[in-house]
Amino acid sequence: MEQPEVMVYLMTGFLDSGKSQFLKFTLAQDYFQIDGTTLLLLCEEGEEEYDAEELKKYGVVIETVDSQEELTEDLLAELDVKYRPERVVIEYNGMWKVSDFEKMKLPEGWGIEQKLTTVDASTFQMYLTNLKPLFVEMVRDAELVLFNRCTDLKPLAGYRRSVKVVSPQAEVIFEDENGEIENIFQDHVPYDLNAPVIEIRPEDYGIWYVDVMENPDRYRGKIVEYTARVLKPRSFPSKLFFTGRMAMTCCADDTTFLGYVCKSTYAPKLKAGQWVKIRAKVEYAKLAMYHGTGPVLEAEHIESGDEIKELVYFN
């Protein structure tokens, strides 16, 4: 896709998740400076306040929206005429559905360049339990998800998987009071990576699904064995098919099929919907469906498998 003339940066996150703090820091950085005007559109009043005079030094003008009813296509068109911005940064209200904004027709030349989400790790589980549909919309298609205020490392692997199942391409960063936390997920898998055949139990499928995409060096050339369901898109060549399982991403009405491409001369004999136990060698290739490079499983053995009725969960 062509880069928009006016790049829109959509900042999402629940109240007091650190959106304003993140933006105040970013807007003042040398790498974020441009020659023209940056329109900062505030849709939520948090504890952090902006210094309008200070932001003028960086070519930033501020407009506020007090209610979702005010955030209309007409308003955006008026602001485009008023400021002729070269860039727009939107601090979106955490209680508004992100899809409502994404459905709006933006002024000519505007386009969402990046979607970023901040998360307060100390309150994340509470929000996930009570407002999961809103969170799923925030992180879907996000390029960066920043978890701050991380005081307990134990649940972070589960938090990351909750993001990755919705938005596999997202970079997920964790920070405590001292800055970014690194190397907290090394070898954090419940199966033996050094086994001749890595057996993926049904309850570990979600962990494997995320890890095999994120860490190709761990899996390239390794043999894995797992049970999954066959999916055969019509557009696929005869020797290619999907194997995967249904996963819970939001609620009972929001599930998605999570699987990877498999390759086998036996593929034409498989039926869509069939459950199989597959042993395969993990390789990686650049495919359009992955929007880049992703796993391609070269099957060595395929046999009928028992149906797994349970959904894949990530938290």
pLDDT score for 184: 65
Q: pTM for this one? A: 0.74
pLDDT score for 234: 87
The answer regarding whether domain 6-180 maps to CATH 3.40.50.300 reads yes
Span of 52-66, 78-92, 253-267 with lowest mean pLDDT: 253-267
pLDDT score for 48: 78
**Residue whose entry in the numeric block shows the structure tokens 């469906």:** 289
Please enumerate in sequence order all residues whose Cβ is within 8 A of that of 60, keeping only pairs 6 or more positions apart, or say none.
27, 37, 38, 39, 40, 89
Model confidence at 81, pLDDT cuts 50, 70, 90, reads: very high
Residue 41 has pLDDT above 90, yes or no: yes
CA–CA gap between residue 175 and residue 246 (Å, rounded): 31
Please report, rounded to a whole number, the percentage of residues in the chain having pLDDT higher than 90: 69
State pLDDT tens for residues 162-181.
888 788 778 899 999 888 88
pLDDT score for 47: 73
Average pLDDT rounded to a whole number, residues 152-158: 85
State pLDDT tens for residues 90-140.
999 999 999 999 999 999 999 999 999 999 999 998 998 889 889 989 998
> 238 with 263: CB under 8 angstroms?
no
pLDDT score for 112: 95
Which tokens hold the place of 221? Answer: 């050339």
CA–CA gap between residue 30 and residue 169 (Å, rounded): 26
- CATH code, 198-304: 2.40.50.140
**Cβ-based burial of 228 (10 A; exposed 0-12, middle 13-18, buried ≥19):** buried
Q: What is the mean pLDDT of the chain?
A: 91
> 261 with 287: CB under 8 angstroms?
yes
Please enumerate in sequence order all residues whose Cβ is within 8 A of that of 109, keeping only pairs 6 or more positions apart, or say none.
4, 5, 6
Model confidence at 71, pLDDT cuts 50, 70, 90, reads: very high
Residue 229 pairs in a beta bridge with: 244, 275
Please report, rounded to a whole number, the percentage of residues in the chain having pLDDT higher than 70: 95
> 127 with 101: CB under 8 angstroms?
no
pLDDT score for 119: 96
Phi/psi zone of residue 142: left (φ > 0), alpha (ψ -120 to 50 degrees), beta?
beta
Domain definitions of the chain by residue range: 6-180, 198-304
Q: 228 or 128, which is more confident?
A: 228
